[in-house]
Amino acid sequence: MLNLRLLKKDTQDFLNEPAPKKPTAANAAIPIVDLARKRIYKRYRSVIKDGDYILTHMQDELLHALRIECKKLRYLMEFFASLFPRKKMARLIKQLRKLQDNLGEFNDLSVQQEYLMHIAEELPLDDSRSRKALVATGYLVENLGYEQKKVKANFANTFTEFASPANQKLFRRLFSMKGKKAGR
C-alpha cells in the first residue's frame, strides 16, 4: 500500500535538494518555461501543418492521426498552463477542445461503423431473423456514415477557426522562442 506521508516527505526532500552545478540530463539547464514554449509551439505547428494538409486531402485516417496530435498538444498546454497567462491559455485550450470534440466525434462514428460491420459479417444468412438483423445493421451503418459526413464537413470550419490568424498570432506570442527573444 502506498504510504502518502512517506511519498510527500520524499517529494519534499527531493524538491529541497540543491540543483547540481553541472546538470548531466538533457535539457536540465534549460528553464522550464523555455522548454514548455519550445514543446508546445513545435506540437502546435505540427497540428497546423497536418490540419492544412487534411483540408485539401480529406483522408479519414489523417483525421484520426490529427486527433492524437491535438490530444498531445492539449496535454502539454494543460500541464504547463500555470506558466502562461491564464485567460489566454483558457481561450486557446477551449478552441483546441472544440477541434478535439469534432475529431473525436468523427473517430467515434468510424469505430461504431466498423463494429457494426464486424457484427454483420458474423451473422448467418440462412435464417430470416439474421437477414432482418443484417438489413437493420446496414441501415444503422448508413445513418452513421451520413452523420460522419456532416462531422467531416464541419471539420473545415472548426479547424479554420482554431488556425485563425488571431490564434496563430497568440500562439506565436506565447510560445515562439523567436518572439520571446525579440521581445526581451
Question: For the chain, how far is it from start to end, CA to CA, in angstroms?
Answer: 49
Gyration radius (Cα) of the chain, Å? 23
Nearest one of 85, 74, 5 to 40, comparing CA atoms: 74
Residue 71 is assigned to a structural domain of this protein: yes
Residue 10 is assigned to a structural domain of this protein: no
Which pLDDT tens digit goes with each residue over 125-160? 888 888 888 888 889 999 999 999 999 889 999 999
Please give the tally of structural domains in the chain: 1
Residue 3 is assigned to a structural domain of this protein: no
CATH number at residue 79: 1.40.20.10
Which residue range forms the structural domain that includes residue 154? Answer: 32-175
CB 140 within 8 A of CB 90: no
Residue 99 is assigned to a structural domain of this protein: yes
Residue 180 confidence (pLDDT):
55
Query: Distance (Å, rounded) from C-alpha 173 to C-alpha 73?
Result: 17
Which pLDDT tens digit goes with each residue over 13-58? 777 777 777 777 777 777 889 999 999 999 999 999 999 999 888 7
